[in-house]
Structure 1
Amino acid sequence: MKVLLLTLILVVALSFSTIGAEYKIGAAVYGLKGEYMRLWSTALERHPAVKNGLVEITVFDGKYDASVQYSQFENMSVQGYDAIIFVPIDVEAGAAAVAVAVSNGIPVIGSNTRVNSEQLTSYIGSDDVRSGYMEAKAVVEAMGGKGKVVIIEGPIGQSAQISRREGNLKALEEYPGIEVLEMKTANWSRAEALNLMENWLNAHPGEIDGVIGQNDEMALGAIQAIKIAGFDPVDFAIAGIDGVTDAMLAVKKGELDLSILQDAKAQAQGALDLALRAIIGESYEPQADCWTDYPEFEWGETMKDIYNVPWTPITTDNIKKLMAEREELTNK
């Protein structure tokens, strides 16, 4: 009898945990190993509409596998989700997942990484070509416009890798005195980048002057490899993208010439506002801070196809403020 009573209490408690949530929204993200997507997910879960009970949000870990993400879309379609926020691992393969949701009447909002699908309701992210250009230019300028660089790429076929490479190469074309020694993927992984950089330091002894990491995790892996090899990272020009916590600290210590903050909170919470707009209609008023944080970033009278959150270069002037904001996001 006691067991039955406890079971009934548990069922009631679980039921009450979703009472008041008018909308069920899923977020299918490519993977949660790296800090950036964990920050993105935390920010999403702290959106005012989730905290006030309007939305029940579920984050699905895609395990860096397009087939896993496809299966998650199938499950969400069967389970009657009201909208899906999509951060795809593959720019092409993700289109099939979007089609599954749309065929079941579920709007899909893209965020952070792109998918080649005309069926997306809207997309919010940041211009990756721009960030790739910015980081490569920072490395080259720190090298005095000449020397040899290596480029550590993201997962081949993901939109951020494609666009950041485009930006990297666009910047390097402006400097005929720069030679690219190596360009390979480390899949956004600090550990893989460490191994890659160790191999390159052995293959090109004394030749590497700069490291262009298409995200911070990989730039930090390169810094670790440089230290293990007995060199000082300060003697290399190194840049990354995302503004993860360790990258901010590396900028502060002078080990990283540049990290560019990709605003995870703005991308995640902005995506949820857009998802609610797709469900409720144009009468919905946004609740996230991002629409007022950036003067050039407008909600608009009608939903647009693309919203680009501005990049913020991390410098010694703004790092204290940015680290305080990071601490606020990561603290419970």
Structure 2
Amino acid sequence: MNKLLAGFAFSALAAATSTAALAADPIRIGAATYGLQGEFMQLWSNALQDHPAVKSGDVEITVFDGRYDALVQSGQFDSMITRQYDAILFVPIDANACVGPVIQATTAGIPVIGSNTRCNTDQLAAFVGSDDVLAGQMVAEEVIDKVGDTGKVVVIEGPIGQSAQIDRGKGIDNVLAEHPNVEVLERRTANWSRAESLSLMENWLTAHRGEIDGVIAQNDEMAIGAIQAIQASGLSLDDISVAGVDGITDALKAVQQGQMATILQDATAQAQGALDVALAKLGKADELPQSDTWTRYPDLAWNDGESDTYNIPWTVVSNDNVESLLAQRQQ
């Protein structure tokens, strides 16, 4: 009888423990993006929903659309701090305006993991992104290799003050310094926008009729806007070299058609890697992180989530890999 009662007691305890585990509140993490208008940030945000810890229900992700406005992002931080989120993943629109919100969150005991774009503060718990100076160098080299040392180019930049605009600009300048006879006809922002880039390029094609040999765009949305303007003007892409950054779906298709060059920025690895690091900072990570970021990039050391910076490698998009990259995008 005692054994039977003990068995019932054990079963009841196990059931109660299981029920308590199921009833435990999930880890609440906010993902503050600079804006969700472009495909890259949509890919980044969607990747968070596919993270194993989110799919299992252990983590609850709330994605915030910063609407390309530092004040909007600041207000979203106020909300996350008031609602006592456990951690924040942050993709800031402005490298300096982001500092105050990060300090506020950190002071409130909420770790902030930077991802994709940087914030000029040492208060971030870590950063998971890619080397944008290298990206700028790669995209400039691609165009200048095609237009030659005496070519004339235009440069289309991202939002002024965002780290990607600043760092990719440094990379572009590094390459231009090595080719002093390449003439930069125009250099202006189109704010990561395809529509703004199309309008900008239309104006440049009129102002510099027959002169533009190449377009160095700091992201793919703007590169595609430039392509649309070139095609609408009746000019041939055989005569104007265009390159961008990100590897968004339309850019991959344009590479297939021989219209442009691009390098892939791995939105999934950046987002899921940042979430892995956040869980480690919260003491909620296993010995091995849950996403496959670290197996896909074996040279990227996990280091128990304790590193300050994790740089996800760039992938050059070519005729050899573009079909497989598109196939992955459609899964």
Q: Is the 8 A contact 2:287 2:304 kept in 1?
A: no
2:300 counterpart of 1:313? no
User: What is the 5 A alignment of 1:152-167?
Assistant: 152-167=156-171
Q: Which residue of 2 aligns with 1:273?
A: 276
Q: Which residue of 1 aligns with 2:40?
A: 36
Q: Which residue of 2 aligns with 1:323?
A: 326
User: What is the 5 A alignment of 1:163-202?
Assistant: 163-202=167-206
Q: Which residue of 2 aligns with 1:144?
A: 148
Q: Map Cα deviations across residues 61-82 of structure 1 (whole Å, 9 max, x no partner).
A: 0010001101111110110100
Q: Is the 8 A contact 2:245 2:262 kept in 1?
A: yes
Pick one of 251, 257, 262 that aligns with 1:253. Answer: 257
> Which runs of 4 or more aligned residues in structure 1 lie more than 2 Å from their structure 2 counterparts after TM superposition?
18-22, 281-285
Deviation at 1:145, TM superposition (A): 2.7
Deviation at 1:173, TM superposition (A): 1.3
Residue type of the partner of 2:108? N
Q: Is the 8 A contact 2:280 2:304 kept in 1?
A: no
2:295 counterpart of 1:295? no
Q: Is the 8 A contact 2:288 2:304 kept in 1?
A: no
Deviation at 1:326, TM superposition (A): 1.0
Runs of at least 5 residues in structure 1 that lack an aligned partner in the other structure: 1-17
Q: Map Cα deviations across residues 75-95 of structure 1 (whole Å, 9 max, x no partner).
A: 101101000000000000001
Q: Which residue of 2 aligns with 1:74?
A: 78
Matches of 2:305 and 2:230 in 1, distance apart?
50
Change over 3 Å in CA distance of 1:159–1:28 after alignment to 2: same
2:89 counterpart of 1:85? yes
Q: Map Cα deviations across residues 250-296 of structure 1 (whole Å, 9 max, x no partner).
A: 0110110x100000000000000011001116755301111010121
Q: Alignment partner of 2:301: what SS?
A: coil
Q: Which residue of 1 aligns with 2:114?
A: 110
Residue type of the partner of 2:87? A
Pick one of 135, 156, 160 that aligns with 1:131. Answer: 135
Alpha-carbon RMSD: 1.3
Matches of 1:246 and 1:281 in 2, distance apart?
38
Q: Is the 8 A contact 1:277 1:284 kept in 2?
A: no
Q: Is the 8 A contact 1:21 1:56 kept in 2?
A: no
Matches of 2:47 and 2:107 in 1, distance apart?
29
Q: Alignment partner of 2:178: what SS?
A: coil
2:224 counterpart of 1:220? yes
Q: Alignment partner of 1:56: what SS?
A: strand
Q: Is the 8 A contact 1:21 1:53 kept in 2?
A: no
Matches of 2:118 and 2:324 in 1, distance apart?
29
Percent pairwise identity? 57
Q: Which residue of 2 aligns with 1:4?
A: none
Residue type of the partner of 1:166? K
Matches of 1:21 and 1:180 in 2, distance apart?
56
Q: Map Cα deviations across residues 210-258 of structure 1 (whole Å, 9 max, x no partner).
A: 00000000000000000111112232111000000000000110110x1
Matches of 2:68 and 2:145 in 1, distance apart?
34
Matches of 1:221 and 1:150 in 2, distance apart?
13
Matches of 1:315 and 1:261 in 2, distance apart?
10
Change over 3 Å in CA distance of 1:19–1:154 after alignment to 2: farther
Change over 3 Å in CA distance of 1:151–1:121 after alignment to 2: same
Change over 3 Å in CA distance of 1:88–1:103 after alignment to 2: same
Change over 3 Å in CA distance of 1:313–1:101 after alignment to 2: same
Residue type of the partner of 1:270? G
Q: Alignment partner of 1:169: what SS?
A: helix
Highest CA radius of gyration, 1 or 2? 2
TM-score in terms of structure 2 length? 0.91
* Further displaced range: 185-194 or 289-298: 289-298
Residues matched between the structures, number? 310
Q: Alignment partner of 1:280: what SS?
A: coil
